[in-house]
Structure 1
């Protein structure tokens, strides 16, 4: 299925974008902007994101994928990017897509991309639907795990003792830290640490999908608690779990076919069986 690849002009440089035109109907069912995950999780997820974008287009959705500042083939270095830069990129992608179609807007986030998507949605004047893939609920906890990648590498070299505190001190002094080949700025680290998955009244729907390696695996306790909280507040939210590999962290590039089908069904409002 053909797609349009182009560079979207931004305030700083340009962003690589891939547009998948809706195939199944003349009037799109929705306009979808993909908000990708953090660092190496982005690279591990590209294949699944491409498969899902094509599936969405085949089902009648207009889909725009964008590499955020300093990521992939977009302008800038990862170490120079800020959370506000990335939020501006999400808004830029939404503006571009909304000029192409008046269909209902969806932000499709994966992992930390869900944190960006929900904050971007909270800032928008119009209602936004949200599709979450394995969302990160706490940026603070994610940052902690990301920093541990450095500790693991240093421990292999016999120098892991006290590494976490040294990195924390380095970031508090405003210095960048190199983690798993990515230069993490103190500004981005601070913003990520403060990010939480909090829903505002402006969002219309939330479709939360988690991936479990167990065939009978359900939603995580964290997901159940957050969804229950939102439902009690009157939000239209649903959550499901599908069986498959954690493709964003596997050594080899892997697929999760059940996730592709579940996402289309969730966006269409169809109850999974």
Structure 2
């Protein structure tokens, strides 16, 4: 079973957002400052420059690999996929990229289940938020998966 919990759709976009949120201007050298999201930075990183982010050095090889990643349906069509998305309101839409990717999952031959839970992203408030709805949705997905697994194994005898 797959559980996609607020999954990253495009590695390059996520990496740019992550860098913008966590890079301290004083950590950047003049060669990197001002071009975080630009092709120039990506080419500098390809030449082996490490990028300081939140007190850590991120290797150019890792950044290059993340840049190339894009979420796609799994090749194993027999495994159900549960996608859990946090939204700020019950009637809130999702980004066009999320919608396109979810549609590609739905149109593949996999068992696809979409779940929305109202709430703020938990990583914004890691120590002071409690999400009963999120916990219930997650436990429900695990229970459904366990039930499906048990039912499938009974059927296979």
Q: TM-score surpassing 0.5?
A: yes
Render the CA deviation track for 1:96-121: whole Å, top value 9, x for unaligned.
xxxxxxxxxxxxxxxxxxxxxxxxxx
What TM-score do you get using the length of structure 2 for normalisation?
Answer: 0.73
> Secondary structure of the equivalent of 1:248?
helix
Distance 1:226 1:178 in 2: 31
| Unmatched tracts of structure 2, length 5 or more | 146-157
After the TM superposition, which residues 25-174 of structure 1 pair with which residues of structure 2 at under 5 Å, given as runs? 129-149=1-21, 153-154=24-25, 162-164=34-36, 165=38, 167-174=41-48
Closer/same/farther in 2, CA of residues 265 and 218 from structure 1, 3 Å limit: farther
> Relative to 1, partners in 2 of residues 1:220 and 1:257: Cα closer, same or farther, differing over 3 Å?
farther
> Residue 218 of structure 1 contacts residue 241 of structure 1 at CA under 8 Å; is this kept in 2?
no
Unpaired runs of 5+ residues, structure 1, are 1-128
Alignment length (residue pairs) = 139
Paired residues of 2:73 and 2:108 also in contact (CA < 8 A): no
The secondary structure found in structure 2 opposite 1:239 is strand
Deviations 1:158-196, CA, capped at 9 Å, x for gaps: x89624256434312112110122211001101111111
Q: Which of residues 51, 66, 69 is equivalent to 1:195? A: 69
Query: What CA distance in whole angstroms lies between the structure 2 residues aligned with 1:227 and 1:174?
Result: 35
2:149 aligned partner: none
2:66 & 2:133 partners in 1: Cα distance?
30
Give the match for residue 234 of structure 1: 109
Q: Shift of the alpha carbon at 1:232?
A: 1.5
In our comparison, the structure showing a higher alpha carbon Rg is: 2
Whether the 8 Å contact between 1:139 and 1:194 is mirrored in structure 2 is yes
Change (3 A) 1:229 1:169: closer
1:177 matches 2:44: no
Higher relative contact order, structure no. (Cα contacts within 8 Å, ≥ 6 residues apart): 2
- Shift of the 266–250 alpha-carbon distance from structure 1 to 2, 3 Å rule, reads same
